[in-house]
Structure 1
Amino acid sequence: MDEPRSSFRPALWERLEGNTTTYLKQVWFPGTHANIGGGWYDQQIASITLAWICDQLTPLGVEFNPHSLTRLFYSSLRYSAAHPYPSIPSPSIFIPSFIWSIILRYRIPIPWAFTPKPCPPPKSTQRIDQANCTDDDHHPHGSPEQLWKFHGRPWGLGQTRFPTSWFQLAGGTVVRRPGCYMRVDPDNNKDTTEPLLNTNERVHSCVRLRLRLGGMSPDDRQTWPCASLLEDDSHGEKPVWRLERGKTISQRELDQDTAFWDSELADDKKDYDSREIYNMQDGDGDWNWVFEDDAVIKNSTGETVRPLTKVLPEEPLVGYWERCLLALTRGELDDWRLGEEGVPGTVNGGKFV
């Protein structure tokens, strides 16, 4: 959602009306290009996207090694325990790196979420890392419960990063618009006013949690505004989508997913450990993002457009891998439960306060 480079336009697919065989699903996550695919030191959001794609591929017959993936998820937890406030880049190319390092040495961190829940207030002696993590493995070991006591960033609240290439940013920036993309004219590569059909776009639950708990924007500059969902193109700070309770995803799909995973986890030949997954409660994840009719949306050529999609459902957490990662990284206060109950963030007219 946070990728600003216009040259990195998302490759959204559509399913034409005559196509009754293809199942298409596309899900939006927080962060920029490398946060989703991996590459930064804080891999938390990349771990969430990895767990999601593993849950999509497992029902298709693709197998993953539980021990290897769990070890990968555990390494992300260890990193967060060691680096609750990772290094952030200088906001200006005119500030030399050694000067910025000195600034960070005396700068008190901004809490990575609302305080005191889920983020304890930073200690007076706590500082932002002056440099990125080295390749040396100096991160603490221990059980998840022991590592949570370091007050690293729990599930969905990991650091995201702004692109570092000023050359790529010079090509133009844009705010991504879930549910509002138009077809592109193949002759000139420009947007039309024809909406894409049957995109089946969804918003991942970590987006809601990050907003409701006051997670940070890229490079920890401020509380995440999520302009993609909450700021339209009228420059009046009107939301594009508002969060509402409700279930839009069909019960048939949910039943099919649940039946598959119940059977998969019961297979003694597999190395799953059902004790390692987060136990969802009734109603968890039953959220929708509903389009605001007075929102102003413009395509890349500046023309006002109207999307066909009026509701973006939240992608449910049903599979083993996502619930395994959540159980491992939910934190001491269980940030998933805080995000469901809306503590301490609230929603007012589509804006999070």
Structure 2
Amino acid sequence: MADTLDVNGHHSRHSSLSAVAADLPKKLIVCCDGTWMDADSGWVKGKNGRSGHPQTPSNVTRIARAMKDQDDSHHQQIVYYQAGFGTGIGLYDHLIGGGTGAGLSENIREAYSFLVSNYSEHDKLKQPDSIFLLGFSRGAFTARSIGGFIGAVGILKKVAMPFFYEIFQDWANAGNPKHPPRFFNTYYRLNPELERVQPPIEFIGDKTKINQYMQSYRDILLSHNLTTEANIKCIGVWDTVGALGIPINPILQRMLPFLPSFIREYRWFDTTIDDHVENAFQALGLDERRFPYSPAVWERPDDCRTNLKQVWFAGAHSNVGGSYADQGMADLALVWMMDQLAGHTRAPSKPFHHLDWIQFDDTYITAFHRLQVDQYQQSDLPPPSPRGWAKARVYDSLTFPQSLAGARTRAPGRYCRADPDSGDLTAQLMRNTHEHVHASVRYRIDAGAAPLESDWSQAFPRGLSFQPYVQWLARRLTPNTRTPTYLPDRVKGPLHGWRLVDGHASHDSPNGVPEGVVKPAKWVWQGAAGAVDCKEMPEDVLGPYEVALKDFDREARGKLEVGEGGVVGRVKSYSPSKTI
């Protein structure tokens, strides 16, 4: 969809922003886009006689455009937008950057430099600036890496930025006995008048003492006035990849056999969060099946106070983060994130402060919905388009050449920790992941919406995939008395082993008979004992932005009840819902 709304405070990947002189603290919002995504210059060239068109924007682009320049308390909301990998000039950057993730360190440095240039710490007269980090796909990996780096070393002073790479590598390799800290040698060589200090030798290279090592490291930076400690108001991401490393395009592997399946330097050994992050939100796709796109699910330590929420949506990786031609499913994850970042779903006991949250333009949802409908009418998507709330196309992303790397069904509630030495998954289940399932999944099941569909825009001769033709032929040759519908809890499906409990007598077929009880829905584990850490995944409550989007579909409006806490369950008859 070619959005026409202005980008508030929008800055390109290679731009910088000088500090804003203002009496009030400001909000610094870093938005890191996914691979090959560029809101500034994204253009899809025409092929086979078809005219070119603007690139379908990701949810990172769209949420940046929905932000106001300042909130109602006159705090500036300054947005730094960073294009994804493979969007630079030239074929090399497109193939190598987009296909391998090369340049991740540079992306992290650029986005982090924006914070260094603009962050104002607190003093007696002023609160500190607020930091928000958003991202999709590898951009989510970038955002989370920045968040972890800030937690470890704080916001470096400008005078320390020439040493960024040494400090960043020291952090990334903490606990690696083959990587002694490099920053201190360089810094003290250039400043011989200073007393040489570095973390205790017993902490260096010891994986069991990484926290002590980084605490000592940060204390030394603070003692030389090279950094300032800072908290992050929120990290909000769509479908982080990198649990196994940054995946490499299989075609590049075939062309360049020396390339590995993953860039192991960039992978998540530690998926935990700590108290320096106040809120952490992640939207995840149930139906992504590409093996390299294993999600990096967060877990929260027992003594951590971070408000963590991770919600599963119907759809593949780009259904959740956006960029498919049919944006219907991406819309759900977009407005969900807007509700989280706006503070609409915060705990009732938590008071609202403007600096804690992002303020959006409330008219944006109506505007992008109109643009969405118009694009459906102008596009070559087969009818009916749009299909209605939660019933848009869920694309099958397991197509050539990505299928060369293998397949793996996602496993909500069942992810395990990675071994800190090898990076391989262990049998130890993640704890305190705070996973939910979005209400649209239940609605999609009840509505009998379509299962996974082929992306014909990638079919030969437009793309390299012949899978849409194979699937079309298979459906024609296979007798089936029942129309296929979306059933994520099917055998070998992502929710296999989980049972939906929502007042329905049965979910064996769409539109099961309600039992007449309206209560919060949840998914209860019915599979093997010991296969999950938490036996229930609650259904997430819809916020006001989500309800506003749902209300454009009169059929959906009449099937979900909205209470003071949001959408709580099904009703048999229509009752008007809240809108913003």
TM range (shorter): 0.5 to 0.7
For residue 76 of structure 1, what is the aligned residue in structure 2?
A: 372
CA distance in 2, matches of 1:342, 1:80: 31
Q: How does 1:234-253 map to 2 (within 5 A)?
A: 239-245=496-502
Unaligned runs of 5+ in 2: 1-285, 344-355, 455-470, 472-482, 504-515, 562-568, 574-580
Mapped contact 2:342–2:357 kept (Cα < 8 A): yes
Partner of 2:533: 308
Secondary structure at 2:308 match in 1: coil
Q: Which of 429, 435, 450 pairs up with 1:216?
A: 450
- Please list the CA deviations of residues 37-79 of structure 1 after superposition, one character each: whole Å capped at 9, or x if unmatched: 1111111111110100000011242011122332012323445
Separation (CA, whole Å) in 2 of partners of 1:334 and 1:151: 20
Distance in 2 of aligned mates of 1:232 and 1:165: 19
Number of aligned residues: 230
**Are the aligned partners of 2:559 and 2:572 in contact in 1 as well (CA < 8 Å)?**
no
Q: 1:342 to 1:184 in 2, by over 3 A?
A: farther
What is the distance in 1 between the residues matched to 2:572 and 2:303? 42
C-alpha distance after superposition, 1:179-228 (max 9, x if no partner): 1111111322221111101001000000011111111122177634444x
Q: CA RMSD in A?
A: 3.2
User: Structure 1 residue 291 and structure 2 residue 515: aligned?
Assistant: no
- Is 1:160 the counterpart of 2:390? The answer is no
The residue number in structure 2 matching 1:327 is 551
**Residue 55 of structure 1 aligns with which residue?**
339
Write the letter of the residue equivalent to 2:551.
A
Deviates more, 1:156-165 or 1:319-328: 156-165
Note if contact 2:310-2:434 (Cα within 8 Å) is conserved in structure 1: yes
CA distance in 2, matches of 1:286, 1:203: 12
TM-fit CA distance, 1:286: 1.2
Match of 2:433 among 175, 199, 207: 199
**Structure 1's 314 and 6: CA in aligned 2 closer, same or farther, altered over 3 A?**
same
Q: Using the alignment, how far apart are the partners of 1:214 and 1:3 within structure 2?
A: 20
Contact 2:289–2:407 at 8 Å: present in 1 too?
yes
What pairs up with 1:116-135 in 2 under 5 angstroms?
128=382
The answer for the alignment partner of 1:5 in structure 2 is 290
Kept in 2, the 8 Å contact 1:29–1:206? The answer is yes
CA distance change for structure 1 residues 285 and 76 in 2, over 3 Å: closer, same or farther? farther
Q: Please, which runs of 5 or more residues in structure 1 have no aligned partner?
A: 88-127, 130-149, 247-281, 296-304, 344-353
CA 1:152/1:181 → structure 2, altered by over 3 Å: closer, same or farther? same
Q: 2:478 maps to which residue?
A: none
Asked if structure 2 preserves the Cα contact closer than 8 Å seen for 1:74 and 1:328, the reply is no
Greater RCO between the two (CA within 8 Å, min separation 6)?
A: 1
Query: Structure 1: which amino acid aligns with 2:497?
Result: V
CA distance in 1, matches of 2:365, 2:556: 22
Distance 2:287 2:495 in 1: 18
1:340 aligns to what? 570
- Match of 1:3, as an amino acid? E
1:320 partner amino acid = P
Percent same amino acid at aligned positions?
30
CA distance in 2, matches of 1:199, 1:31: 20
**Which of these two proteins has the greater Rg computed from alpha carbons?**
2
Q: TM-score, normalised by structure 1?
A: 0.58
Residue 310 to residue 173, structure 1, CA distance change in 2 (3 Å): same
Q: Is the 8 A contact 2:290 2:406 kept in 1?
A: yes
